[in-house]
Structure 1
Amino acid sequence: MWVIAVPVVIQNVISIGLNLVDILMIGRLGEKELAAVGSATQLFFIFSMVCFGLYSGAAVYVAQYFGAKNEAGIKKIIGIDLAAGITLSSLAFVLAMLMAPKLIWIFSRDEEVIALGAQFLRTVCFSYILTSITFAIVYNSRAVQRLKAATIINGSAIIINTVLNYCLIYGKWGMPAMGVRGSALATVIARTIELTCFVIYIFVNKQHPFHGTFKEFFSFDSVLFKNVMKTAVPVVFTEGGWATVTSLTFVAYGMLGASALAVIQIAEVVADLSQAVYFGLGNATAVIIGESLGRKETEAAFQYGGMAMKITWGMNLFVTVLLILISRPIAAVYQFNGETTHMLVLVLIAWAFTTTPKMLAYVLICGILRAGGDTLYSLAVDLSCNVVIQLSIAFFSVLVLHLPIYCVVVLVSISDITKTILCYKRYYSKKWMNIVT
């Protein structure tokens, strides 16, 4: 678990930590610039979650093939991932180019925010296809436990992105000052470098499970494709639905003003940074359970799931206290007015108390149930709780009760509490364990 979890945690800490720095850079341009970028990144957020759903669903097969030492099967799953990912990213690219202002309008009615957001979106969308290919390599590297090079390449690309952000946003080191468009361009350049490094690494390393010919990757038949999609599509709908509901919740927050959008943008990144350890735990749990099921060791898979939940409870206590302690220092970094700064502190504290149900649900669904191929149940629980509970509470709290944003954040967590209860029952039933390979 440590071998798999630590590199994933490092990847996420670097990514989220530098994303926090990026938001600080953009935030210093102004609240409207920050709101614009936050709104523009919602399309990428949905797209990336759909990719995550596709790849993590297909990774059920990769992990079990890895446990069964079937490298030919692994390559075919990678081929399915690439074909589907490139198709999805191409659609997202076209949508961003043709409908950028309308997409930003969903989140904000401010004309300046719409103009800045469209400017950012029409530049950053050139990274979508590159990102879909990179994601396929990174997610499946976890399933085959080849994480060292992936972590180094991914971390280096994120650092390059941050440095370029600084140069292109503010016009440093002889580069033009491009504002929000500079941030988008930095992303495109960093993603290009990242994918190039991955391709070279895999091409040179002939012992890597992903090293193969075009035919080896794309010789999958319709039967395998359909079987993988039966597992992956529910996860795509789960993650895509979750991302869509999260973005619509972002719409509800946006009704409270540009300051609320800016505050939520910062709070989400800080919360993600504090939760990076859970992402590592969830990935490690999924790989270990998938490998165990690939060897038909069902009781071991069940025990690993129980171990992961005990670790999650321990981490919850630590992260909750940590978020409360850092809330004021984080808010002080941003040069907002007094009212917005106070709002940020309260939102961070609210987020601290919602960590426990959110992360329990995450590890149960992403780390345990999906690894057992129980993707339809995960879809039913996740989507119903998100749509019926989270979305309705968010809009009701804003439009009817007129509650401040920190109260809305707390009430929305009722969705995660419900998910956790339902998923715990499913785990103990053992109905989630399926051998799919």
Structure 2
Amino acid sequence: MDEQFSQMKKMFSVLVPVTLQQLVISMNFIIDNLMVSYLGEEFIAALGSSNKFMVIVRMSIIAICSASGSLISQYRGSRHKEGVSRTFAINSIITFSTAMIFCIIFFTNKDFILSSFSDSKEIVLISWSYLSIIIFTSFSFSLIMPMMTVVRSTGNVVSALLVSVISLFTNFIFNFILIYGKFGIPALGIRGAAISTVISEVLSIIILLAIVNYKITPISKIKDIDFSFKDIDKFLRVSLPLLSAGLLTSLSLMFSHNIFGRLGEEELAAYGIISPMENILSDLFAGVGLASIVIIGAELGRNKFESAYSHAKSIIWSGLASSLIIGSCFIFFSSKVTWFLDIDEETVGYVVTMLTLLGISMPVRTFNSTMSNGMLSSGGDNVFLMFVTMTADWIFALPSIYIGKYLFNWNIPKIYSVLILSEILTATIFIFRFRSKRWMTNLVGG
């Protein structure tokens, strides 16, 4: 009994800070959305549209770092410090290169990308004013995530949480000053929200550099880290399938948003309101998955497979219990959305319906997020993840919503319902994979 209590205590000492950190990170999106909402519905729509492109960038970097987290956690479990340092160095190089590629893609194809957001010229122009600044956070994010990953995966989860809290408050303060124009500074509107994000991320980089230098590896020695082709090959074998899955998911989201953008300004505004809430929830439960990489990855690195499976089941049940509570709250408070947002009656109707659907689907989404962001990744089962993404998103969801929109003229709640059915399909596949235990692999040979 004492051993079981000790295991639960150890699990929650990682699970709670990592999950809270993801919640804090996603609160940045909701703060931006709430503050920008007072500028008008077209600004909400533009912000939601712009963030769909940035989601592709960020999900790609997160996917690479998730693979890195799996390796670092297993190296930590097998007490291989050099493996931790090498993986961190390789991860940093690849994520920064990825950010550079996305920036080149954006600036060479900006007209096509912006026109895919909406038929409204006003929304496209507002999106450009925001994206032309926020795109540069690709570089800051590509530096933050490898450092955040190595800090978190080596057990320094509270330090990672504190960095995110400081970043949140910095973003809020500068949003207030720059969006509305305070203390003699001119009001910059949606551009102010973008600049605030840049400032908060630069501050995060400075703090994380200090933590990495003090707790993990001296920054001055990073240039001396020697890694071979074998190390790079190991990293790419784990990360490329996960990156492919992340790209496929984010591209499917962008194509889905393209459909929403053709439904009308009210429906696009409704999705612009729902989208940050979805981001908060996906980030929150991705936190459960990321925590499981730290916990389960370390067990797999020690070849303690039964212990890893036991921890995995405990984490899944904890996530499902939390999702039932949060989902119920969403359903109960869905009709109270007018307390916080100044939007018209038609948009309110769409938002209420979609919030209710979001609440109902919460347990399924939570399970999928935990599996894709943590359980399967912790053992490097990333080719299977890519297969699931292709099946659920590209074979089922996208064709269905395109047919629904262009043949049957579905409204946004019906299209949103199809996306939820896609989540149910994904969950069914994940259940069989989890029970098979084929995802449990020692990646580092410890």
TM-score of the two chains, using structure 1 as the length reference: 0.95
What's 1:343 paired with? 350
What's 2:223 paired with? 215
What's 1:428 paired with? 435
Whether contact under 8 Å (2:266, 2:346) holds in the other structure is: no
- Aligned pair 1:177/2:184, yes or no? no
- Structure 1 segment 80-95 matched on structure 2, within 5 A: 80-95=90-105
Distance across 1 between alignment mates of 2:310 and 2:220: 36
What's 2:36 paired with? 26
Residue range with higher mean Cα deviation, 233-242 or 139-148: 139-148
Residue aligned with 2:117, SS: coil
Tell me the matched-pair count.
Answer: 434
Q: By how many angstroms is 1:401 displaced? A: 2.1
Distance across 1 between alignment mates of 2:21 and 2:110: 30
Counterpart pick for 2:206 among 177, 189, 196? 196
Counterpart pick for 1:168 among 175, 178, 189? 178
What's 1:232 paired with? 239
Residue aligned with 1:107, SS: coil
- Aligned pair 1:255/2:262, yes or no? yes
- Structure 1 segment 133-172 matched on structure 2, within 5 A: 133-172=143-182
Q: By how many angstroms is 1:422 displaced? A: 1.1
Distance across 2 between alignment mates of 1:9 and 1:17: 12
Q: By how many angstroms is 1:244 displaced? A: 0.9
- Aligned pair 1:403/2:410, yes or no? yes
What's 2:138 paired with? 128
Q: By how many angstroms is 1:210 displaced? A: 6.7
Distance across 2 between alignment mates of 1:57 and 1:201: 21
What's 2:278 paired with? 271
Distance 1:14 1:58, change over 3 A: closer
Whether contact under 8 Å (1:4, 1:283) holds in the other structure is: no
Report the AA paired with residue 426 of structure 1: R
What's 2:64 paired with? 54
Report the AA paired with residue 158 of structure 2: K
Distance across 2 between alignment mates of 1:147 and 1:59: 13
Distance 1:275 1:365, change over 3 A: closer
Whether contact under 8 Å (1:169, 1:182) holds in the other structure is: yes
Distance 1:84 1:274, change over 3 A: closer
Report the AA paired with residue 94 of structure 2: A
Whether contact under 8 Å (2:26, 2:284) holds in the other structure is: no
- Aligned pair 1:288/2:295, yes or no? yes
Residue aligned with 1:433, SS: coil
What's 2:77 paired with? 67
Distance across 2 between alignment mates of 1:272 and 1:177: 27
Counterpart pick for 1:40 among 35, 50, 62? 50
Residue range with higher mean Cα deviation, 46-55 or 422-431: 422-431
Distance 1:28 1:395, change over 3 A: same
Report the AA paired with residue 296 of structure 1: N
Counterpart pick for 1:2 among 7, 12, 16? 12
In angstroms, what is the RMSD of aligned CA positions?
Answer: 1.7
Q: By how many angstroms is 1:417 displaced? A: 1.1
Residue aligned with 2:109, SS: helix
Counterpart pick for 1:418 among 420, 425, 429? 425
Q: By how many angstroms is 1:61 displaced? A: 1.0
Distance across 2 between alignment mates of 1:126 and 1:388: 33
Distance across 1 between alignment mates of 2:45 and 2:394: 24
What's 1:306 paired with? 313
Residue aligned with 1:413, SS: helix
Q: By how many angstroms is 1:274 displaced? A: 4.4
What's 1:354 paired with? 361
What's 1:76 paired with? 86
- Structure 1 segment 384-395 matched on structure 2, within 5 A: 384-395=391-402
Whether contact under 8 Å (1:37, 1:117) holds in the other structure is: yes
Distance across 1 between alignment mates of 2:332 and 2:309: 36
Runs of at least 4 residues of structure 1 off by over 4 A?
Answer: 209-212, 274-277
Q: Deviations over 1:324-369 (max 9, x none)?
A: 1121223431111111112111111111122222221221222211
Report the AA paired with residue 294 of structure 1: G
Distance 1:117 1:263, change over 3 A: same
Whether contact under 8 Å (2:147, 2:209) holds in the other structure is: no
Whether contact under 8 Å (1:58, 1:229) holds in the other structure is: no
What's 2:5 paired with? none
Distance across 2 between alignment mates of 1:244 and 1:173: 41
Distance across 1 between alignment mates of 2:113 and 2:133: 14
Report the AA paired with residue 385 of structure 1: A
Whether contact under 8 Å (1:100, 1:122) holds in the other structure is: no
Residue range with higher mean Cα deviation, 184-193 or 303-312: 303-312
What's 2:6 paired with? none
Distance across 2 between alignment mates of 1:233 and 1:9: 25
Distance across 2 between alignment mates of 1:98 and 1:28: 32
Q: Deviations over 1:377-404 (max 9, x none)?
A: 1111122211111111222222222222
Residue aligned with 1:157, SS: helix
Whether contact under 8 Å (2:282, 2:369) holds in the other structure is: no
Distance across 2 between alignment mates of 1:413 and 1:278: 16
Identity among equivalent pairs (%) = 21
Distance 1:417 1:17, change over 3 A: same
What's 2:3 paired with? none
Distance 1:220 1:285, change over 3 A: same
Report the AA paired with residue 223 of structure 2: K
